[in-house]
Structure 1
Amino acid sequence: MTLPTPLTGVVPPVCTPLTPDSEVDVPSLTRLVDHLVGAGVDGLFVLGSTSEVAYLPDGHRRTVMETVVRHVAGQLPVLAGAIDMTTLRVLDHVRAAERAGADAVVVTAPYYTRTHPAEIARHFRLVAAASGVPVFAYDQPASVPLKLGADLVLELAAEGVLAGLKDSSGDEGGFRQVLLGARARTDISGFGVLTGSELTVDSALAMGADGVVPGLGNVDPEGYVRLYRSCRAGDWERARAEQERLCGLFGMVEVGDPARMGRSSSALGAFKAALHLRGVIACPATAAPQIPLSSSEVERVGKYLAAAGLL
C-alpha cells in the first residue's frame, strides 16, 4: 500500500509472541495483529524494541515480517525495523523487509562502535539510497551511543532521506525542536514525527506530533486510540483522563524485581504476561537471556489490568 505522508495516528510496536522453546508463535502473532487492528490502530511497527528485535535471529525476523504483512493484507501500513550495528548489516534487513512486503523501514544510528555525526548521516543516506521503501529514523539513545540531533534529522528530512522520526529519547525539548523545524522549513513536507513515550502522548500531540508508537498499546490499543482521537478532536480533558489511566496501567513495567532482572525483562515480560492474561497470546515467554517474571509478579500484572478495567 502507499504510505500516508505524513504517517499519523497510533502505530503500536508489535510484541513477538514466542513458544516455550523460543520459536515464533505464529498463531498468537496473528491473534495479536487482529487484537490491534480491531482496536482501530493506524499502522503496525514490527521488529522494534518492544518486538525484542535485538534478541531475535534473522530467521525469526523474517517470519515475523512475512506473517504480519500477509495477515494484514494491506488493511494498514506495516513498518519493519531494519535494526543492526552497521550499515551493511542494516541493508541486509532492508532487503528482507522489501521482499516481505513492508511499507517502510525503521532504522537506528549504528551502535556498538562509537560513531561521529558525519558517519551517522552517511549511514542514513546510504540506507535510503538503497531502499525501495520510505526510511524512518529511530532515536533510541538508551541503546545507541549518540542521540539524533534535531539539526541532523531536519537536514536529512529536507534531503528526502527520511520520511519520518520515531522519537523514544524522552527529550521533550529536542522533540519540540524537530516539530518546530519541520513546520518552519519550506524544504520539508510530508515528514511524520511520532513519539515513542507512552506517558506523554497528550502533550506530544498538543505540541504537534503526528502520532504515537506505544509499547503499552499492545496491551490496551483501544485506550491509545481513544487518547489519540480525543486529542485530535480538541477534547483535552477527556484526553488527559485517558492518558492518566494509561499512566496507571504502565506501572506494570516495574513489577520485576530489579535485584534479579533488568528493566527489559520486567517491562517486556509484563506486556507479554498481560497479553497472556487477556487471552491474546498462548505463552508469555521472552527471548533469552531475559529473565521470566515469577508467578507473584504475573499476579501483580493482573492487578494492574483489573484496575484499568481490562480483566
Structure 2
Amino acid sequence: MTIPAPLTGVVPPVCTPLTPDREVDVPSLLRLVDHLVEGGVHGLFVLGSTSEAAYLTDRQRRLVVEAVVAHAAGRLPVLAGAIDMTTPRVLDHVRSVTEAGADGVVVTAPFYTRTHPAEIDRHYRLVAAASPVPVVAYDLPSAVHTKLPADLVLQLAADGVLAGLKDSSGDLAAFREVVTGARAHPGITGFGVLTGSELIVDSALALGADGAVPGLANVDPHGYVRLDRLCRGGEWSPARAEQERLCGLFGMVRVGDPGRMGGSSSALGAFKAALHLRGVIDCPVTAEPQVALSAAEVERVGKFLATAGLL
C-alpha cells in the first residue's frame, strides 16, 4: 500500500524482540505488531532507533521488514528505516527494504563525518531519485550530530523530494518552524510533520503536527491513540491529563543505573522489559553490547506499569 499524504496519527517505531542468542524473535515480533494494531495505531515504523536498527545485521534488518510487511498484510502502512553513514550505503538499504515490501523509507542525514547542508541536500535528492517509495527525513541530531535546518527541509518538501519529517530533536521551536513553514508554503502539499518525542505530543499536535512516532507507544499504544484522538477533537484538558500519565510512564527509561549502563541500554531495556511483563514478547534482551537491566530494575519497570494502569 502507499503511505497517506500526509502521514498522520500514531506511528510507533516498532521494537525488535530478540531471542536469548540475539536472533530476531519473529513470533514475538508478530505478536507486538498485533498488539499495536489492536491499540489502533495508524502505521508502523520498523528499523528505527527504538528498533535497535543500528545493532542489527543486514540479514536481520531484511527479516524484520519481510516479517512485518507480510503480517501487516496491507492493514497499515509500513515504513522502514534506511539508516547508515553515507549515501551509497543508504541506497543499498533502500533497495533491500523496498524489495521486502516497505511502503516508505525513513532516512537520516549522513553521519560519521560532519556534513555541510549542501551535502545533506544532495544526499536526500539522490536517495529520493533512487527510491520507488516516499522518503521521510529523520531529524536525529543526538545520533548523527547534525540538526536538519528547517529551510532545507522545507525546500526539499517543496521540490517533492521528501514526503514527511520525523523530528526527534526535541527542539519544539524548530519543529514549529517546519510546521508553520509547510502550512504557509504554496508549493508544499501532502507533507507530514511528526514528532518523535513521547513527552510533547499534545504540544506538537496543538502546533499543527500531523502525528507522532513515540517509542513508548510500543508499551501503551492505546494511550497514544487516545491522546491523538483527544487532541484532534479539541479536548485539550483530558488530552493534557493523558499526556501527563504517559510522561509518568516514560519515567521507566531511567530505571537503569547510569554508573553501569548508557541511556540507550536503560530505555530500550525498559521498553522490552515492559513488553515482556505485559506478555507481548518472550524475551526482554537487547542487542550487544547493551547492558541488561537487573532484576531490581525490571521490578521498577513493573511499578511504572502498575501506576499507569497497565499491569
TM range (shorter): over 0.9
**1:194 paired residue number:** 194
Taking the aligned partners of 1:93 and 1:73, their CA distance within structure 2 comes to 22
Deviations 1:57-111 (A, max 9, x none): 1011001000000000000100000000000000000001111111000000001
Secondary structure at the counterpart of residue 143 of structure 2 = coil
**% identical aligned pairs:** 78
**1:84 paired residue number:** 84
Amino acid at match of 2:135: V
| Alignment TM-score, normalising by the size of structure 2 | 1.00
Taking the aligned partners of 2:73 and 2:91, their CA distance within structure 1 comes to 25
Question: Deviation of residue 114 (structure 1)?
Answer: 1.2
Taking the aligned partners of 1:25 and 1:305, their CA distance within structure 2 comes to 23
**1:297 paired residue number:** 297
1:24 aligns with 2:36: no
Taking the aligned partners of 1:207 and 1:92, their CA distance within structure 2 comes to 36
Question: Deviation of residue 192 (structure 1)?
Answer: 0.1
Amino acid at match of 1:26: V
**1:52 paired residue number:** 52
Taking the aligned partners of 1:48 and 1:214, their CA distance within structure 2 comes to 11
1:10 aligns with 2:10: yes
**1:108 paired residue number:** 108
Which structure 1 residue ranges, 5 or more long, are not aligned?
none
Taking the aligned partners of 2:210 and 2:183, their CA distance within structure 1 comes to 12
**1:283 paired residue number:** 283
Taking the aligned partners of 2:296 and 2:121, their CA distance within structure 1 comes to 46
Question: Deviation of residue 146 (structure 1)?
Answer: 1.2
How many residues in Structure 1 have an aligned counterpart in Structure 2?
311
1:239 aligns with 2:233: no
Q: How does 1:123-202 map to 2 (within 5 A)?
A: 123-202=123-202
Secondary structure at the counterpart of residue 138 of structure 1 = strand
Which structure 2 residue ranges, 5 or more long, are not aligned?
none
Amino acid at match of 1:136: V
Runs of 4+ in 1 over 6 A off after TM superposition: none
Deviations 1:101-142 (A, max 9, x none): 110000000011111110011000000000000000000000
Secondary structure at the counterpart of residue 198 of structure 1 = coil
Taking the aligned partners of 2:54 and 2:109, their CA distance within structure 1 comes to 14
Question: Deviation of residue 185 (structure 1)?
Answer: 0.6
| RMSD between aligned residues | 0.4
Taking the aligned partners of 2:76 and 2:32, their CA distance within structure 1 comes to 15
Amino acid at match of 2:19: T
**1:269 paired residue number:** 269
Taking the aligned partners of 1:94 and 1:54, their CA distance within structure 2 comes to 15
Question: Deviation of residue 175 (structure 1)?
Answer: 0.2
Amino acid at match of 1:96: S
Taking the aligned partners of 2:55 and 2:301, their CA distance within structure 1 comes to 23
Amino acid at match of 2:88: L
Taking the aligned partners of 1:54 and 1:4, their CA distance within structure 2 comes to 27
Secondary structure at the counterpart of residue 76 of structure 1 = coil
Taking the aligned partners of 1:292 and 1:248, their CA distance within structure 2 comes to 22
Question: Deviation of residue 54 (structure 1)?
Answer: 0.7
| Alignment TM-score, normalising by the size of structure 1 | 1.00
Amino acid at match of 2:302: G
Taking the aligned partners of 1:43 and 1:145, their CA distance within structure 2 comes to 27
Secondary structure at the counterpart of residue 102 of structure 1 = coil
Amino acid at match of 2:283: C
Question: Deviation of residue 2 (structure 1)?
Answer: 2.1
